[in-house]
Amino acid sequence: MAGRSRFLVTGGAGYVGSHVVAALCDAGHDVVVFDNLRTGHRESVPEGVRFIEGDLADRALVDAVLADGPWDGVLHFAALSLVGESMQHPFLYMEANAGLGFALVDACIRHGVKRFVFSSTAALFGQTEDALITEDTPIVPGSPYGESKHMVERALLWADRIHGLRSACLRYFNAAGADPGGRIGEDHRPETHLIPLVIDAALGRRGALHLFGDDYPTPDGTCIRDYIHVSDLAQAHLAALDVIRDRSVVYNVGTGTGHSNMEVIRSVERVTGRQVPWLPAPRRPGDPARL
């Protein structure tokens, strides 16, 4: 992106959001972060970046923030993101992700925002037999989480057709890793991502790892996931902002290569030289065999 631009980032104190904020700042842009800090961390926001603690449910505050423009774009990360939790509380996810997402898109249109980057998910594909999931793979969400993200994608399609709001829907696979400079990293509370859980188990920071499902139709019986480094994912957002100057796009964002849960365990054992204690556990509702 040429020149200095000004962006609003919702959920910018979270894992992926904070890495995108860092990438935008590194590129010389002016960034404002909006986050309720329920799962994000204030210390993940770079020094000097304006931070607004608030909730998207506060429509008046959202309007006031967007009125303080002009904005060169909005990047939307704020969401609930646990597949298992969404199976227990489906309407909570519909309201938090889809309902508040609709309201944010509407507010952006009213305040003249022209570019919108949406943090979507590959979870909207659900269980698929495709060896390689592409943008043309049928969408059959296997969880309310995936469904809620797909609903926002559909809303953005109509926002472009009717109002000219250009958008990029980025369907992430599985973000992993941390900023190579050590500024920020992965810090979910409680931690739900496999790689940090396996590392903690290897280092004795936690008890035995619970491996959810060892009877999937995969070579070793465990789930297969496509992992993408979070810094590469952040750069995809900056690239998307350039692309959507004149058109809306939908992209899957991954590496195209999957690794099973057991392969992750064996890799951590090889790197650390320590055995990872693990116990078999039942499958989690909503978890596909491959994603």
Tell me the catalytic residues.
145
What CA dihedral angle connects 40, 42, 43 and 47, to 10 degrees?
A: 130
Is the CB of residue 129 less than 8 Å from the CB of residue 117? Answer: no
Say if residue 136 is exposed, middle or buried (CB neighbours under 10 Å; 0-12, 13-18, 19+).
Answer: exposed
Three-state SS at 259:
strand
Say if residue 78 is exposed, middle or buried (CB neighbours under 10 Å; 0-12, 13-18, 19+).
Answer: buried
Sign of the CA dihedral with 236 first, then 11, 288, and 230 last: positive
**Parallel, antiparallel or unpaired: strands 73-76 and 50-53:** unpaired
Is the CB of residue 33 less than 8 Å from the CB of residue 49? Answer: yes
Is the CB of residue 223 less than 8 Å from the CB of residue 261? Answer: yes
